[in-house]
Amino acid sequence: MPEKKNPDKVLPPIDLQKAIGDVNQAFDELNAAVKDGAYIAVGLGVLGLQRAQVRRVEMTRRLEAALREAGPPLAEVGRTVEAQVDEARTQLAGVARAVDAQLRPARAQLDEGMDLLEERLPVGARGVLHSVRSAVADSENALRHAVGLPTRR
């Protein structure tokens, strides 16, 4: 015997305005998180570069003092300069590795959020977002190469 349909059973109404509002709110929150992550990454990069500049000034002062003290023996001055440059390079690489390690979790979270956003965008907007992400990645890789870190993707 065929089952009779009950006209009294109706699906609950769907409030499309509320659903669209929820999606817009989620995108707004994701956008804010992406901006915050970008600001943090740039800020940490600036702090790292400022620290490297301070170390450079300190090394320059040490070098000038060493040159005044060393006087004529050029070989000794050369060894002092090489040692100080190596020390500065080592310290800069250490700072860069520490900043990179601190940023790694935030970068992963930011990348995941950007991937999700990219999937939900219309095709034209995806292209724009992809271009922006590529430009940022190129800049980051140039900076990473300059401080001796491996490049990403």
For the chain, 153 residues long, the average pLDDT of each consecutive 10-residue run is: 58 66 74 79 82 87 77 69 85 84 85 85 81 83 80 76
Predicted local distance difference test score (pLDDT) of residue 2: 56
Asked if 142 and 151 touch (Cβ cutoff 8 Å), the reply is no
Alpha-carbon distance of 34 to 84, in angstroms, equals: 40
Predicted local distance difference test score (pLDDT) of residue 98: 86
Residue 151 corresponds to which tokens in the numbers above?
A: 């490049």
Using alpha carbons only, give the angle 56, 48, 78 rounded to the nearest 5 degrees.
25
Predicted local distance difference test score (pLDDT) of residue 62: 87
Alpha-carbon distance of 86 to 79, in angstroms, equals: 10
Q: For 71, which DSSP code?
A: -
